[in-house]
Chains A and B, each alone.
Chain A
Amino acid sequence: MAKVIKLRKGLDINLKGKATKETASVSCPGEYALVPDDFTGVKPKVVVKEGDIVQVGDALFVDKLHPEVKFVSPVSGTVSMVERGDRRKLLSIRVKADGKQEARQFDTKGDIKSLMLESGMFAFLRQRPYDVVANPEDKPKAIFVSAFNSMPLSQDFEYVLQGQEAEFQAGISALAKLAKVYLGVSAKQTSSALTVAKDCEVTVFDGPAPAGNVGVQINHVSPINKGEVVWTMGAEEVIFLGRLLKTGKVDFTRTIALAGSEVKEPKYYKMLVGQKLTTMLEGNINADGARIINGNVMTGLKTTAEGFLGAHATEVNVIPEGDHADEMLGWIMPRFNTFSTHHSYFSWLFGKKKEYVIDARIKGGERHMIMSGEYDKVFPMDIYAGYLVKAIIAGDIDRQEALGIYEVAPEDFAIAEFVDSSKLELQRIVREGLDILRKENA
């Protein structure tokens, strides 16, 4: 029987517009894009030119520091654009699909690591510390996979998994050849492909968000100490790996949850990584003042309908922007329809069943940290979150280390950022802290 870890701290936010369990396919002609910024910590070096013909699985760019880490095309077609921004920063590489999906055949017999590097699968491995793309020279002490996302409006992985159980298991078994694999499963999940998965140690987590965050799971199962490296991989990406092993071809098809109060029919869509979002959004969202988020509402980046599906996104959320709300005297009004964990509002009256529409407003001014213990209530790790954030703001590297910065990723602070009455941008602060620390330690 798998070990059960009960988490008390955290917060489930009940948002309107959850995806119903049906999957639609959308036609996928047109342009695809791979965005290097989705792969944190990578210095991209383009290996194709505009006009080149590529197959599925051909490298589009590599990491300058580790050229063996390849980032491959999700479609076959012609490279239509290498988009660059200020100071020639590489923004995206676009491929005009030919619709044939001709895929490069990989030899799955050899060493798993070189196969992953060659096929672009390695690029989906992330490492802690720093929450960046894994370094192939490291020897990780373990690989963690979380089989559930506890954030609001997120993808239900158990639904996505249906029919792909064998691929998932094949992926887990392959990862087990690199390091010990730990699989984090939610107490609500019953699929035997998860609860009795082979070649890995299954741990059941029972608690509110962010229990599904792999960082929280690492902290409770095998915390990262200084000098140690842990790799993580998204559950759906494990299926990518399994597909590759079964067919020898790369297939980055995701089952994306399109969810949120501004979506007309929230449900799942089969989408390729890098696919244009318009293909599923067109005619499906309330156009006025909607914020389209590439990824989860808590952690994803604001984008437009013209944007491309992010490499790690498992859902696309659409919420109201709210920038014309003009709410009067909000500091004293009862605001019955407003969600707050704070008892000066009345959401506690309506129970946990009530679904809320929350817009993108910050709803207050940024202040110094005033209240104490706010973060700790929703931060289920043995880390003093407030003190760590202060150490990052102060730029005190020794103290960040001592307080456990190696164990955290920005996403672990998402719920804390939501409840923060001082409205500090915790995820941004942590990301900047990790980047500086990585530079210092390099």
Chain B
Amino acid sequence: MNPIKKLFDNIHPYVEEGGKFHAFRSLVDGFETFAFVPNTTSRVGSVNIHDAIDSKRIMSFVVIALLPALLFGMFNVGYQNALATGHLADATFWGMFWYGFLAVLPKIIVSYVVGLGIEFVVAQWKNEEIQEGFLVSGILIPMIVPVTCPLWMLAVAVAFSVILAKEIFGGTGMNIFNPALITRAFLFFSYPSFMTGDATVWVAQDTIFGLGYKAADAYTAATPLGEAAQAGFAGFTPETIQNAITGLIPGCIGETSVIAIALGGLLLLWTGIASWKTMLSVFVGGAATGYLMQVCGLTQIQWYEQLVLGGFAFGAVFMATDPVTSCRTEGGKYVYGLLIGFIAVMVRVLNPGYPEGMMLAILLMNLFASLIDYCFVQSNINMRAKRATIK
């Protein structure tokens, strides 16, 4: 017998009902289902065979899809640090990457420890299996905060969103809002000076374990979107846009590189985890609105620049397509996506206080997703009611 299997079999009696360590049942259970595909077979009266897909596989693939953006984000943290401190010439690729890795790793750990900790406790309390939803949220959260976000802030925000945006609704699959975005919104509204993107906070400015460089005092580096929101802006240079596509601009850890995001996006589309309908319509909605705003003379930003700057691409690929909080009807997905694109660009252009609109657009549409679905489902209900002879 497999020694790991044996280990679990030995642990079992302790965590069963009445066992000494019953409080850790959900924890052991969680690890066991990760180590082995459960051997439970289908009950009498349900289908006898099942597709091999399960939510663990789905969530793991989302995490894999996020890796290119995450790894690039780590490199970019190092790159921005070197750039800001004027040491770009003597910085090495691996030096920059390890610097970024060390800057980002604590955030990932804090996010997982706090979030999964709450999940474990809730699962134990409700006597359920641990739900995998937070595997994705836990990696998304460090990717959508600035690298300078203090860890204690992150911990508070994660706890807030897991409890109030997810668990009180009943856990993964029942939540209305995307928990990762709620985390960011919480940070944004509670600690605005750390989050707005027009201050000094987007570039790591200190050394970590001797890696990286210390910045001179009062260094400021605005994100391109922040720059565009300032007075006297007259359009981006082609170089800025090129950097925005490769990702070598200041910004949240995971959101900068369009190329890395596209790699993850392709995996999500191929595996069918993200709906191409939602993803495409977010881009179409954003581009159309961007073009309209540009034609009306409301902004100097070209329509295609809207799509590559800030969190737009990241939001469109990884956030808007969250199957739980987006529309569930196929028709609704188009409407949902178009409106996200529209609102995101509208907020960017028409709102002078905050140069980024993606987070607010998706959260707002999360709220309206069920209303859109309602319209589509209702049309099906009406069709059926119409053909009925008795009421």
Contact = CB atoms under 8 A, between A and B. Distances in A.
B389 A361 contact: no
Contact of B36 (A330, A342, A402): A330
Interface string A357-369: 0111111111111
Chain B, interface size category, equals: 35 or more
Interface string B42-57: 1111111111111111
B385 A360 contact: no
B58 interface: yes
B357 interface: no
Interface string A374-403: 001000001110110000000000000011
Contact of A225 (B60, B172, B389): B389
B45 A226 contact: no
Contacts of A371: 58, 273, 323
Contacts of B53: 340-342, 344-345, 363-364, 419, 421
A404 interface: yes
Nearest to B5: A326
**Residue picked from A300, A321, A358, A423, most chain B C-beta under 10 Å:** A423
Given A226-B388, A368-B172, A362 B52 contact: no
B20 to A, nearest CB: 25
B34 A331 contact: yes
B380 A291 contact: no
Contact of B44 (A301, A321, A328, A414): A301
Interface stretch (A129-137, A183-191, A424-432): A424-432
Interface string A309-331: 00000000101011111111111
A344 B383 CA distance: 37
B173 interface: yes
A221 to B, nearest CB: 13
A365 B275 CA distance: 23
A417 B46 contact: yes
Interface in B317-348: 323-324, 326-330
A327 B36 contact: yes
B67 to A, nearest CB: 13
A46 to B, nearest CB: 24
A227 interface: yes
A360 B323 contact: no
Given A368-B174, A369-B173, A225 B384 contact: yes
A428 B48 CA distance: 12
A342 B272 contact: yes
Contact of A418 (B38, B50, B380, B391): B50
Interface in A287-314: 291, 293, 297-302
A228 interface: yes
Interface string B32-44: 0111111111111
A404 B384 contact: yes
Contact of B54 (A322, A331, A343): A331
Contact of A364 (B38, B46, B173): B38
Contacts of B60: 331-332
B52 A340 contact: yes
Given A291-B41, A372-B326, A427-B45, A339 B51 contact: yes
B7 interface: no
B354 interface: no
Given A343-B272, A422-B173, A359 B49 contact: yes
Interface in B335-391: 377, 380-381, 383-385, 387-391
A368 B131 CA distance: 9
A423 B37 CA distance: 13
A140 interface: no
B380 A227 contact: no
B11 interface: no
Contacts of A428: 43, 45-46
A366 to B, nearest CB: 8
**Residue picked from B4, B45, B49, B270, most chain A C-beta under 10 Å:** B49
A301 B45 contact: yes
A99 B69 CA distance: 74
Given A344-B61, A404-B384, A362 B389 contact: no
A225 B387 CA distance: 7
A302 B2 contact: no
Interface in B147-192: 170-174
B38 to A, nearest CB: 7
Contacts of A387: 328, 377
A364 B55 contact: yes
B333 to A, nearest CB: 8
A422 B55 contact: yes
A209 B362 CA distance: 37
B65 to A, nearest CB: 10
B52 A386 contact: no
B174 A386 contact: no
Contacts of B55: 364-365, 367, 370, 421-422
B388 A227 contact: yes
**Residue picked from B2, B57, B327, most chain A C-beta under 10 Å:** B57
Given A340-B52, A344-B57, A419-B53, A425 B46 contact: yes
A263 to B, nearest CB: 15
A421 B35 contact: no
A45 interface: no
Contact of A370 (B37, B42, B173, B384): B173
24 contacts: A225-B389, A226-B390, A300-B48, A302-B48, A317-B48, A324-B39, A328-B2, A331-B34, A331-B57, A342-B57, A358-B50, A359-B41, A360-B48, A365-B129, A367-B172, A368-B171, A370-B324, A373-B275, A383-B380, A403-B384, A419-B53, A422-B55, A428-B46, A431-B45
Given A420-B51, A421-B54, 13 more contacts: A13-B49, A291-B48, A300-B48, A302-B44, A319-B48, A361-B41, A362-B42, A365-B38, A367-B173, A404-B384, A419-B51, A421-B55, A431-B45
